[in-house]
Amino acid sequence: MKLKCAIVDDEPLALNLLESYVQKTSFLELAGKYSSAVMAMKELPDKKIDLLFLDIQMPELNGLEFSKMVPANTRIVFTTAFGQYAIDGYKVNALDYLLKPISYVDFLQAANKALQWFELLQQPREEKESIFVKSEYKLAQIMLKDILYIEGLKDYIKIYEENQPKPVLCLMSMKAMEEQLPPKRFIRVHRSYIVQKDKIRIIDRGRIVFGKTYIPISDSYKQAFQDFLDSPSQNK
C-alpha cells in the first residue's frame, strides 16, 4: 500500500529533511512540498493527500488553522519545535505530533501509524484486530482482544482494557465506536455500555460483573443479550 503525502514547512532545512525521509520510506509517495500553508491551500485540494506532515508555527496561516481546512480523510502529523501546541493538536485530531529536531526513527513511527490507520480502513469489521481512537492529542491504537468494556459519557467514551489500571479516554460517541467494532465480538447492553462477549464471566441479577464493576443490561437490549446467551456458540 502506498500513501500519498505532502509536507508544509516554512523552514527550508526542515522541508528538505522531511523530503529525504519520505524518499527513503518505501510506502510513502511525495505529492508536494510547500514553504507555506497558503501555497499548500491552493494546490492540495486537487491532489487527494492521505498524509500531511504539517508545521505549526508559520506566517500568514499557521498549521493549526490550516489543519481545520484539510479534508477529513487526510491524516495529519504535526511537526514543530513548540511543545505547548500539544493540546491544540488534540482539538484537530492529529495522528501524531513530532518535536523538532525530528529523527528518522520518530518519523518512521508516525508514518507506520498512518499506514496502519489506512490498512484498518480497508479491513472488514470482522477481520479487525485493532482500532485507532482519539486520546489526548493523538490517535492511539487499541487491540480489540484487550478490551473488556466501553462506557459512554456524553461526548466521550472510556475504554477499559484487561490489566490496565486506567481506562483510555476518547473524544468519540458510542454510536461511532459501535460502528467500528465487529458485532460478532462485541454487544451493546445499555445506552452507556458495550462489552466484549468472550470476556463475560459473571452475570449477577441482570448485571455483567467485571471485578468490582457492575454493568446494567437495560430493557431495550435484554432480548438481544438473551439471544446471545442462548446462541449455540455459547452452549458448546
CA dist., res. 231 & res. 236, Å (int): 9
Condensed to tens digits (0 to 9), the pLDDT of residues 160-189 reads: 999 899 999 988 889 889 988 999 999 999
Beta strand 207-210 with 213-216: parallel, antiparallel or unpaired? antiparallel
Instruction: State whether 34 and 77 are in the same domain.
Output: yes
Condensed to tens digits (0 to 9), the pLDDT of residues 118-176 reads: 988 787 778 889 988 877 767 788 999 999 999 999 889 999 999 899 999 988 889 88
User: Are 40 and 10 contacting, i.e. CB atoms less than 8 angstroms apart?
Assistant: no
119 Ramachandran zone, left/alpha/beta (phi>0; psi -120 to 50):
alpha
CA angle, 18 then 19 then 20, to 5°: 90
Q: Is the pLDDT of residue 80 over 90?
A: no
Instruction: State whether 20 and 85 are in the same domain.
Output: yes
Q: In the prediction, which pLDDT does 169 show?
A: 92
Percent of the residues in the chain that have a pLDDT greater than 90, as a whole number: 59
CA dist., res. 201 & res. 89, Å (int): 40
Question: Which pLDDT band, with edges at 50, 70 and 90, does 9 fall under?
Answer: very high
Q: In the prediction, which pLDDT does 90 show?
A: 56
The count of structural domains within the chain is 2
Q: In the prediction, which pLDDT does 81 show?
A: 82
Q: In the prediction, which pLDDT does 122 show?
A: 83
> Which range of residues forms the domain containing residue 22?
3-122
Condensed to tens digits (0 to 9), the pLDDT of residues 190-226 reads: 999 999 999 999 999 989 999 999 999 999 999 999 9
The answer as to whether 189 is a domain residue is yes
Q: In the prediction, which pLDDT does 136 show?
A: 72
Beta strand 75-80 with 96-99: parallel, antiparallel or unpaired? parallel
Percent of the residues in the chain that have a pLDDT greater than 70, as a whole number: 93
CATH code for position 205: 2.40.50.1020
The answer as to whether 133 is a domain residue is no
Mean pLDDT estimate for the chain: 89
CA dist., res. 117 & res. 25, Å (int): 17
CA dist., res. 61 & res. 67, Å (int): 10
Q: Full-prediction pTM beyond 0.75?
A: no
Contacts of 178 (CB under 8 A, 6+ apart): 186, 188, 194
Q: Is the pLDDT of residue 93 over 90?
A: no
CATH code for position 29: 3.40.50.2300
